[in-house]
A and B are shown apart, each in its own frame.
Chain A
Amino acid sequence: AQSVSQHNHHVILSEAASLELGCNYSYGGTVNLFWYVQYPGQHLQLLLKYFSGDPLVKGIKGFEAEFIKSKFSFNLRKPSVQWSDTAEYFCAVNPYGNNRLAFGKGNQVVVIP
């Protein structure tokens, strides 16, 4: 079964700072990769996804993620965060063609105005 690791569970940064959240997975085959975001009081929303093609994917709200197959990683980045980016971010992976998602433990990100 696949597993997902996210480090630095709590991240605090100031507005305009850059954000990078790490995600590593363990699965030997082809995978689909996702980042979900949960804003305070809201449901999980899809931020971006990678199925195939260009390993640098762009999502909503200025976020992007890079799939590095050799490192089994799918790190999330945003060059300049805003207060409204305060949320919990989850990395998730499923084997290609199988929608059984495995989630990481999440990163709680707090952006200070």
Chain B
Amino acid sequence: EAGVAQSPRYKIIEKRQSVAFWCNPISGHATLYWYQQILGQGPKLLIQFQNNGVVDDSQLPKDRFSAERLKGVDSTLKIQPAKLEDSAVYLCASSLDRGNQPQHFGDGTRLSIL
């Protein structure tokens, strides 16, 4: 079974620039998650999709972060404009559905803001 695919693996930008990350979940997984993992901390949920609808975006900084999953499969997460504190690894995960299912994680995108 192919895992969760993310790109790019690394991204370096200057503050105030914009950046986008892409995620393709495991085939058949209805639920998709984006997490932010700051160095020395555990992953923090940013947004959760069920098919193409947002289930939970309560921890997403909506003034600068946005995400979409238009066709209910792959997803993009965007930051515009980026701040220094956005330096982190952005993880995508997927699960079969919202219920009691384990999440499968991608390799993440490591973002550095200069």
A interface residues with partner B (beta carbon < 8 Å): 4, 6, 9, 32, 34, 36, 42-46, 49, 51, 90, 92, 96-106
Contacts and interface: CB of A to CB of B under 8 A. Distances in A.
A39 to B, nearest CB: 12
B107 A43 contact: yes
Given A99-B31, A101-B45, A106-B42, A34 B3 contact: no
A49 B41 CA distance: 21
Interface of B: 3-4, 31, 33, 40-45, 48, 56, 91, 93, 95, 98-108
Contacts of A97: 99-100
Given A99-B95, A100-B56, A46 B102 contact: yes
A44 B105 contact: yes
Chief secondary structure at chain B's binding surface? loop
A43 B26 CA distance: 14
A105 B48 contact: no
A105 B40 contact: yes
A105 B45 contact: no
Contacts of A34: 102
B56 A103 contact: no
Contacts of A98: 98
A24 to B, nearest CB: 14
A53 B106 CA distance: 30
B45 A100 contact: yes
B99 A99 contact: yes
Nearest to A94: B100
